[in-house]
Structure 1
Amino acid sequence: MAEFEVTDTDLPSYHDSANNEVTIDKQTLGPATLYIAGRFVHSSDPEAPPLYEFSHSVGFLRDSDRTVKVERVDQIVRDHNGTPRVQTRNRHLFDLRHPTAGEFPTFEYHAESTSRRALCSLGIATFRSKSGLLARVGKTKGKGYRVHRAVRGADRRHEAREVIFTAAPSRDRAVGFEWSDGEGHLLAREVETDELMSLVVTAEMGAPLRDALVAAWVLRVWWELAKGNYQSNRWEHSECWLDPLMSEFSMETAGVTWDVLMADDSTLQQNGYSGRRTEN
């Protein structure tokens, strides 16, 4: 993989500098398909650098791991003497944490924000679906996840506040979890194969919300890996997203076949799978 320039994680944004720099912090991001591959999360563009980098390889995360650094790989466009130049910069947004039982944590897994650009700190907890249908279609006892905004209380322990995301098991076998915002608006669907773990983001959102969604997604995956519910090292060599012959895959969702074109995420919107727009 190509080397990318990495500089200080919290340098002033382009809007605060003398250069004419463009960043994604205030942009609205459209639907996209994201893939876990080793220490990175990629988009469906095989020519693009990764979107996120982790300090650990996701497929090797264990119950014994305690902290995983999450960085967003920003592409910065600078106007250098009238010539636009694209550079990359890693921005440290979250530390994913799995405290020991002896620390009596509020959350077994949580994401501690490390930048003012991060949405907030997050804590993840499980819940059980009341419907028996999910178990009948092969889901693990209908277990879902709620991701709360986490704040420090007077004793410095985390307290759970409002729900930011809910990851509920899908009733369709081809979809693992459906991610919704706190108001129940669909944001994304997880699609899992033996070689690939992907998150099909179907809603427009700002960069801070997508950053938080990715952090919550990896927290959920880490939880399942630690419990032994996923085969380890399964996404370490996920190269099918680079293969032009694998440019299309289908999944049956609610009786409808989705054609997710990896080379053209706008196709999701054209076919009515854009979800609802979420404002930050």
Structure 2
Amino acid sequence: MEANSQSLPLPCEEANEGPSKDFLDPTILVLAGQSVVCETAPAIPLYQMNWNVTSLPPKGSSVVFERVVEHGQAETAEGTAPSKPQNRHLFYLAHPPGAQLSNEKPAYYITSVLPEMLGNISLEAVKSRLQKPELKARLPEEDHGGIPVVAYEDGKGEPHRLVVTAPMERRIRDALVATWCLRLWHDTAESRQARTEALERWTPPESMRGYGDMKMAKTAGALGAVAGAGGGAC
């Protein structure tokens, strides 16, 4: 997705439900640890996960993705006060162990928990015009055409920001944000750093020590050969 240099000082909708919120305004979303927040209201989480998908090493093979829901006002001894936010479980983000070795299941996919949500969404690697691999989200056949391209990532690195440029139905944005988080998980888990750390975790210490000893022995042998060829002259 191409970044747009135009500034979008857009408001963030309240994290609640109701007929007036069937369609949500454009906004800028930011990944903040285990939460997704609005850039203009970072203290109020809109979505919550059970671990940070950009952390290493990954905390498991699935992620619970929830929408944070406000239930209005609660009665207290002093009167009324905002009620404590509740989480509504929407999706599981999944990356089964060994999925890259199997052709039966996608390596990264989303499973919906609620029947009204979009169905299973998977990430597939495709070749672009520049012959570089890209990721595309594949939706079930009945949902094709339901999600136009209405968002892009602003910049690279942290914080991760998603700019939503058009109003959209709540369930569509839920799926869009979940897919974005799945893609961030993919990029983190498939990075060179992640692969190196995984190799170190799975390699027995004895093997690493033996590899180090062998490397030192080869280096010492090479230095000895150089010294012999030079006749010991300085």
- C-alpha displacement of 1:121: 2.3
Q: Distance in 1 between matches of 2:149 and 2:37?
A: 21
Q: In percent, how many aligned pairs have the same letter? A: 31
Match of 1:68 in 2: 63
2:48 is the counterpart of 1:53: yes
2:142 is the counterpart of 1:143: no
In the TM superposition, what whole-angstrom CA distance separates every residue of 1:96-126 from its partner, at most 9, and x where no partner exists?
1111236944211111111234222222212
Q: Distance in 2 between matches of 1:230 and 1:46?
A: 32
- C-alpha displacement of 1:24: 4.5
Q: Distance in 1 between matches of 2:159 and 2:176?
A: 18
2:118 is the counterpart of 1:127: no
Q: Distance in 1 between matches of 2:71 and 2:59?
A: 36
Q: Distance in 2 between matches of 1:77 and 1:127?
A: 45
State which structure, 1 or 2, has the greater radius of gyration over its C-alpha atoms.
Answer: 2
2:35 is the counterpart of 1:36: no
Out of 23, 36, 56, the position equivalent to 2:17 is: 23
- C-alpha displacement of 1:209: 0.6
Return the TM-score normalized by structure 2. Answer: 0.63
Which AA in structure 1 matches 2:170? A
The structure with more helix, counted as a fraction of residues: 2
Gaps of 5+ in 1: 1-21, 136-140, 150-160, 165-181, 233-280
Which AA in structure 1 matches 2:109? H
Match of 2:97 in 1: 100
Which AA in structure 1 matches 2:33? G
Q: Distance in 2 between matches of 1:47 and 1:198?
A: 12
2:52 is the counterpart of 1:89: no
C-alpha RMSD of the superposition:
3.2
Is 1:186–1:203's contact at 8 Å kept on the other side of the alignment?
A: no
Q: Distance in 2 between matches of 1:127 and 1:29?
A: 31
- C-alpha displacement of 1:192: 3.0
Match of 2:217 in 1: none
Q: How many residues are matched?
A: 175
Match of 1:242 in 2: none
Which AA in structure 2 matches 1:220? R
Out of 225, 228, 232, the position equivalent to 2:191 is: 228
Q: Distance in 2 between matches of 1:61 and 1:24?
A: 38
Q: Distance in 1 between matches of 2:44 and 2:27?
A: 15
What secondary structure sits across from 1:49 in the alignment?
strand
- C-alpha displacement of 1:231: 8.4
What secondary structure sits across from 1:115 in the alignment?
coil
In the TM superposition, what whole-angstrom CA distance separates every residue of 1:218-245 from its partner, at most 9, and x where no partner exists?
111111111106889xxxxxxxxxxxxx
Gaps of 5+ in 2: 1-15, 196-234
- C-alpha displacement of 1:51: 0.5
Return the TM-score normalized by structure 1. Answer: 0.54
